């Protein structure tokens, strides 16, 4: 018995020793693993969260694909890139494009020197494949196009269903995939369409189900880099130089690393100076540390942010004067300064658009100025039938005006802003309390009309103002069960009777920018006068860049007017060779 | 035929265990569905907020993705769910169409078991050894120091320890050189150039990638074991049979191992068995910090995306593990202390 106990102890001791030896050897023998060898100088390192196998996959049309957001354009090029400062598209896989004389076709001429990483020539069949696959997955581009037709290897034609300037964006900015990988599905979609079947048919649904499960093991590339699934780890993705690309000699990095993760897990990498560019929003203290470590920041235009949504179905918020009065009470500049210092800035214009977009699309001289003006607010509230008693505003029925303002308590900037707004309104006599909610119920509460005031989104990073109105006026109002309770038909002093739903529809139609501008102005003036929601602050996000530390970003600063998410400037600068490593 | 006490005891416990699993799985089912919002809204919001898609595009993507039967009645869904629980098959993940939930769990769970289990084992071995020594050496100068450190460590949240270790090993450049560990290369479970399998390169690489999570779990738990073992040993030392053994002149070493150690370990071993059940859940924050693809991180993603099948699968596996370990702890205790099963039998 004793000897067996001793033997057991010896085994245990041995196990512990072996474990310790393994741990020590694993940690001390760092150079054995080739991944741990010194990193090459000509790497560009960014970051974006992605799901890894088995949840992550390489079917770029299905959720959880290892898509890498804008970094995808480094290996699967779109037909063109976009420059916001000049509002123009720059050719990439497309050489040129033109609208037919009858405005019913967009004809695209493709470049003839592009090849896929697997060796095949890039042709119009690949473009056709891409858009037929988008048809299968119900992408909105098919709301605007009727058909895609291959003319010859280098020419493709899109038949237009709805005339709109946005169609260029929908067509030109989609990364193009190859026929070799997705062609089987594109052919099947085509067959179904030829048989007169659509997305409601059983055959279509079966194909959707099959496509959902499709897991390609090759990610073919036309770009200067390619994504080899064997170069995807849980830590990062290595995009390796694609020597077959027509841009292979233009780019200056041998490979691009995209680290997997979000703010907490990417922070140490920035501190270790392993990162060149991130769009992640770090806390101000971390940003300060990064700056001290030599990192630069790129301040992006404040194109979107948070607004106070009014529940117009509730009294007295159903009265325009009350909403206007509240707009005159809230000091947007001070809320912007407090919410996320250095990042959030109070909005100047109340149009539902970001300030820059307002100045581009709207004649600002005709807008009502909602500067802080307590006298004006008092006048407006009195005209709405409210009276002030003992420093508090009272409704016509004698009850005090009490409001709550909802914001997710975990969104630091929103919660701070909501508290500040509540304080300002309360100080003016409108008793307002902050209602910190779970972020999960934010949109649901708005949809169901369970709020008085709520902080939610306004503005857009997209080039057309339509997208700025989509979330507040359509998603959170017209298409919601209850939403903001704001009528889409309004009688205004500035533009008379308006039907906002109709105007929004018209705002994207046609090819005439001036005509669109007039429609957008009408919407903006209506929002400005009736204040269904009050934009409070926009976010002037700061991207981290290793300019001067590890990289040289060149001189084209106009590109920084691009949306970082939709038309990323770092990617464009890599593709054009402007971004390069420094010694 | 008379059923003996041990069999009766085990049958009773097994039935209790099955009942507990059914109750918990039912609660999980309804709680998940009572969560505010729903997977479609969550998905649309995430696509808009995180990926900058327009509402139109996000909704189109969601309608393509969620061609599932979320519209089934709650009762129908519950019956389907119970059938799945019995077969341990939860169908496909909502957010990763075509990927079975069990495949995701099978991929992620071993890594969590490895790091959390290893951490628990190491902290247990170190903690009980140190605790026993402290109980024996209460007159030594280091006793209050070590006890203080143990109290301190046991009161710090594990994610703070993780951040501290991350900075200590991976960020601070000691002596102006490189940090001790190349943390940018230690993210994830293993490097992309090793082949998973039973080979030395892979095992070494996996240990290296798991080093910081294991350290975190070890450091965050060792203090508790030290204090538990110290307290348990002190109370055992004052027991009559230990005094008697000393009077009988039995060697101190023999008293420590056969009289004190074994009896002091009794309540701690039960605690250890209970904690084994909890290792399945992993640690959400720790795994996120180290980008360690374990079951905790998967649960975090599933919860934020409201991936019902995946959440149900993970919660059920966690429940089963906790209930089984609790069952084993009871059996273990009954074996060590026969009075318990005798009482149950009567």
* CB neighbours of residue A254 within 10 Å: 14
Let me know if residue B202 belongs to a domain. yes
Q: Are strands A431-437 and A453-459 parallel, antiparallel or unpaired?
A: unpaired
Q: Which domain holds residue B191?
A: 5-35+88-345
* A484/chain B closest Cα distance in angstroms: 17
Q: How many domains does chain B have?
A: 1
Which portions of chain B are predicted below pLDDT 70?
1-3, 36-37, 46, 48-56, 60-61, 63-72, 281-282, 336-346
Q: What is the pLDDT of residue A297?
A: 92
Query: CB contact, 8 Å: B21 with chain A?
Result: no
Same domain, A372 and A512: yes
Let me know if residue A31 belongs to a domain. no
Closest to A35 (Cβ–Cβ): which among B35, B185, B292?
B185
pTM reported for the whole predicted model: 0.79
Let me know if residue B204 belongs to a domain. yes
Q: Do A230 and B207 touch (CB under 8 A)?
A: no
Q: What is the pLDDT of residues A506-552, one digit of tens each?
A: 998 888 889 999 999 999 999 999 999 999 999 998 999 999 999 99
Q: Do A566 and B52 touch (CB under 8 A)?
A: yes
Let me know if residue A137 belongs to a domain. yes
Q: Do B96 and A54 touch (CB under 8 A)?
A: yes
Same domain, A433 and A340: yes
Across residues A480-489, what is the average pLDDT? 92
Q: What are phi and psi of A151, to 5 degrees?
A: -85, -55
CATH number of the domain that residue B211 is part of: 1.10.3720.10
Let me know if residue B222 belongs to a domain. yes
Same domain, A534 and A413: yes
Partners of B189 on chain A (C-beta within 8 Å) are 234
Same domain, A370 and A388: yes
Of A244, A175, A185, the residue nearest A213 (C-alpha): A185
Q: How far is CA B277 from the centre of its chain?
A: 6
Of A459, A460, A465, the residue nearest A566 (C-alpha): A460
What tokens appear for B256 in the block? Answer: 């420590």
Whether the link from the prior residue into A54 is cis, omega within 30° of 0, is: yes
Same domain, A412 and A559: no
Same domain, A406 and A348: yes
Q: Are strands A402-408 and A431-437 parallel, antiparallel or unpaired?
A: parallel
Give SS3 for A60.
coil
Same domain, A480 and A545: no
Same domain, A204 and A292: no
CATH number of the domain that residue A373 is part of: 3.10.105.10
Domain final residue, candidates A190, A212, A234: A212
Query: Using CA atoms, how far apart are residues B138 and B147, in angstroms rounded to an integer?
Result: 10
pLDDT band at A228 (very low <50, low <70, confident <90, very high): very high
Q: What is the pLDDT of residues A61-82, one digit of tens each?
A: 987 889 898 999 999 999 999 9
Tally of helices (H runs) and strands (E runs) in chain A = 17, 25
Query: Using CA atoms, how far apart are residues A472 and A485, in angstroms rounded to an integer?
Result: 11
Let me know if residue A290 belongs to a domain. yes
Query: Using CA atoms, how far apart are residues A282 and A209, in angstroms rounded to an integer?
Result: 39
For chain B, the 3-state helix, strand and coil shares in percent, each to the nearest 5, are 75, 0, 25
Let me know if residue A278 belongs to a domain. yes
pLDDT band at A10 (very low <50, low <70, confident <90, very high): low
Let me know if residue A545 belongs to a domain. yes
Let me know if residue B77 belongs to a domain. no
Give SS3 for A254.
coil
Domain final residue, candidates A187, A212, A237: A212
Closest to B187 (Cβ–Cβ): which among A64, A234, A238?
A234
Write out the H or E segment, with its range, that includes residue A241: strand A236-241
Angle at A205 between CA A139 and CA A149, to 5 degrees: 45
pLDDT band at A5 (very low <50, low <70, confident <90, very high): very low
Same domain, A423 and A337: yes
Query: Using CA atoms, how far apart are residues B306 and B37, in angstroms rounded to an integer?
Result: 9
CATH number of the domain that residue A553 is part of: 3.40.190.10
Q: How many domains does chain A have?
A: 3
Q: What is the pLDDT of residues B176-219, one digit of tens each?
A: 777 888 877 788 888 877 777 888 888 888 998 999 999 999 99
Q: What is the pLDDT of residues A121-158, one digit of tens each?
A: 999 999 999 999 999 988 888 989 999 999 999 999 99
Of A457, A502, A507, A503, the residue nearest A353 (C-alpha): A457
Q: Do B183 and A231 touch (CB under 8 A)?
A: no
Q: What is the pLDDT of residues A286-313, one digit of tens each?
A: 888 999 989 999 988 888 899 999 999 9
Query: Using CA atoms, how far apart are residues B271 and B326, in angstroms rounded to an integer?
Result: 9
Q: What residues 211-270 of chain B have any CB closer than 8 A to a CB of chain A?
A: 211
Residue with the two structure tokens 């790497």: A43
In chain A, the percentage of residues whose pLDDT exceeds 90 is: 68
Let me know if residue B108 belongs to a domain. yes
Let me know if residue A296 belongs to a domain. yes
Let me know if residue A378 belongs to a domain. yes
Same domain, A534 and A549: no
Q: Do A272 and B179 touch (CB under 8 A)?
A: yes
Let me know if residue A44 belongs to a domain. no
Q: Do B207 and A264 touch (CB under 8 A)?
A: no
In chain A, the percentage of residues whose pLDDT exceeds 70 is: 93
Q: What is the pLDDT of residue B247?
A: 87
Q: Is the pLDDT of residue A42 over 50?
A: yes
Q: Which of the listed ranges A12-26, A84-98, B175-189, B254-268 does the model predict with the highest average pLDDT?
A: A84-98
Q: Which domain holds residue A169?
A: 84-212
Higher local confidence (pLDDT), A406 or B298: A406
Across residues A26-32, what is the average pLDDT? 46
Query: Using CA atoms, how far apart are residues A168 and A173, in angstroms rounded to an integer?
Result: 8
Q: Considering chain A, what is the average pLDDT of its residues?
A: 90
Same domain, A349 and A383: yes
B-chain residue closest to A261, CA distance: B291
Same domain, A316 and A279: no
Domain final residue, candidates A152, A183, A212: A212
pLDDT band at A111 (very low <50, low <70, confident <90, very high): very high
């Amino acid at each position: 018995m004793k000897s067996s106990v001793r033997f057991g102890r010896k085994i245990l001791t041995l196990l512990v020793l072996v474990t310790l030896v393994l741990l020590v050897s694993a940690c001390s023998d760092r150079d054995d693993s080739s991944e741990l060898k010194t990193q090459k100088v000509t790497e560009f390192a960014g970051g974006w969260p992605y799901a890894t196998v088995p949840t992550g996959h390489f079917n770029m049309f299905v959720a959880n694909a290892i898509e890498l957001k804008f970094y995808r354009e480094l290996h699967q090029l779109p037909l063109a890139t976009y420059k916001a400062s000049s509002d123009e598209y720059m050719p990439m896989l497309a050489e040129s494009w033109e609208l037919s004389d009858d405005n019913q076709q967009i004809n695209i001429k493709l470049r003839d020197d592009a090849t896929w990483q697997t060796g095949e020539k890039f042709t119009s069949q690949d473009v056709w494949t891409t858009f037929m696959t988008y048809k299968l997955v119900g992408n909105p581009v098919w709301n605007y196009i009727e058909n895609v037709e291959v003319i010859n290897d280098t020419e493709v034609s899109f038949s237009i269903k709805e005339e709109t300037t946005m169609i260029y964006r929908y067509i030109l900015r989609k990364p193009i995939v190859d026929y070799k990988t997705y062609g089987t599905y594109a052919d099947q979609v085509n067959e179904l369409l030829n048989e007169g079947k659509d997305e409601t048919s059983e055959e279509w649904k079966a194909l959707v189900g099959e496509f959902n499960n499709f897991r390609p093991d090759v990610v073919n590339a036309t770009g200067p880099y390619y994504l080899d699934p064997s170069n995807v780890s849980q830590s990062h993705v290595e995009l390796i130089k694609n020597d077959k690309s027509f841009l292979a000699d233009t780019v200056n990095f041998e490979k691009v690393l995209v680290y997997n993760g979000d703010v907490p897990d990417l922070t140490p990498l920035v501190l270790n100076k392993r990162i060149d560019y991130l769009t992640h929003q770090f806390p101000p203290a971390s940003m300060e540390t990064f700056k001290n470590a030599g990192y630069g920041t790129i301040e992006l235009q404040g194109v979107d942010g948070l607004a106070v949504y009014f529940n117009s179905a509730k009294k007295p918020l159903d009265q325009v004067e009350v909403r206007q009065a509240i707009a005159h009470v809230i000091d947007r500049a001070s809320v912007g300064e407090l919410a996320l210092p250095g990042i959030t800035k109070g909005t100047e214009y109340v149009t539902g658009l970001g300030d820059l977009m307002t100045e581009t699309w709207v004649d600002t001289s005709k807008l009502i100025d909602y500067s802080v003006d307590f006298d004006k607010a008092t006048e407006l509230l009195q005209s709405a039938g409210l009276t002030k008693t003992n420093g508090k505003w009272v409704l016509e029925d004698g009850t005090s005006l009490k409001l709550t303002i909802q914001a997710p308590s975990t969104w630091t900037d929103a919660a701070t802003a909501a508290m500040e707004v509540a304080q300002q309104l309360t100080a003016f006599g409108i008793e307002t309390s902050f209602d910190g909610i779970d972020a999960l119920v934010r949109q649901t509460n708005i949809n169901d009309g369970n709020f008085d005031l709520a902080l939610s989104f306004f503005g857009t990073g997209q080039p057309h103002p339509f997208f700025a109105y989509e979330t507040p006026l359509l998603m959170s109002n017209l298409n919601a069960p209850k939403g903001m309770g704001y009528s889409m038909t309004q009688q205004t002093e500035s533009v008379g009777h308006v039907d906002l739903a109709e105007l929004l529809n018209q705002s994207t139609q046609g090819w005439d920018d001036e005509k669109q501008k007039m429609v957008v102005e009408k919407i903006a003036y209506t929002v400005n006068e009736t204040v269904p929601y009050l934009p409070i602050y926009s976010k002037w996000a700061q991207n981290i860049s290793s300019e001067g530390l590890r990289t040289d970003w060149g001189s084209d600063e106009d590109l920084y007017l691009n949306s970082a998410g939709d038309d990323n400037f770092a990617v464009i600068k890599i593709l054009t060779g402007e971004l390069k490593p420094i010694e | 035929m008379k059923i003996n006490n041990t069999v009766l005891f085990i049958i009773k416990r097994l039935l209790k265990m099955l009942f507990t699993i059914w109750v918990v799985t039912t609660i999980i089912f309804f709680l998940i569905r009572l969560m505010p919002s729903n997977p479609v809204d969550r998905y649309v919001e995430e696509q808009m907020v995180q990926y900058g898609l327009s509402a139109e595009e996000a909704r189109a993507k969601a309608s393509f993705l969620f061609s599932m039967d979320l519209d089934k009645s709650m009762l129908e869904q519950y019956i389907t769910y119970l059938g799945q629980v019995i077969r341990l098959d939860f169908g496909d993940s909502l957010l990763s169409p075509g990927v079975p939930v069990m495949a995701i769990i099978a991929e992620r769970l071993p890594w969590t078991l490895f790091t959390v289990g290893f951490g628990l084992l190491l902290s247990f071995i170190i903690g009980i050894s140190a605790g026993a020594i402290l109980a024996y050496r209460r007159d030594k100068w280091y006793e209050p120091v070590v006890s203080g450190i143990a109290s301190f460590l046991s009161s710090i949240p594990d994610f703070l320890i993780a951040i501290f270790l991350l900075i200590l090993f991976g960020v601070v450049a000691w002596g102006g050189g490189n940090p001790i560990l190349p943390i940018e290369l230690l993210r994830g479970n293993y490097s992309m150039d090793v082949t998973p399998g039973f080979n030395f390169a892979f095992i070494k690489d996996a240990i290296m990638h798991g080093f910081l999570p294991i350290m975190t779990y070890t450091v965050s738990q060792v203090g508790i074991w030290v204090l538990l073992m110290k307290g348990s040993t002190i109370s055992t030392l004052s027991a009559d049979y230990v005094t008697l053994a000393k009077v009988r002149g039995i060697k101190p070493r023999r008293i420590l191992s056969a009289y004190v150690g074994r009896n002091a370990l009794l309540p701690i071993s039960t605690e250890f068995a209970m904690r084994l059940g909890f290792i399945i859940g992993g640690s959400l924050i720790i795994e996120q910090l180290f980008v360690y693809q374990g079951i905790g991180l998967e649960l975090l993603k599933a919860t934020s995306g409201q991936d019902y099948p995946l959440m149900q699968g993970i919660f059920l596996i966690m429940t089963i593990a906790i209930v089984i370990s609790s069952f084993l702890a009871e059996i273990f205790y009954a074996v060590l202390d026969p009075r318990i099963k005798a009482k149950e039998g009567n």
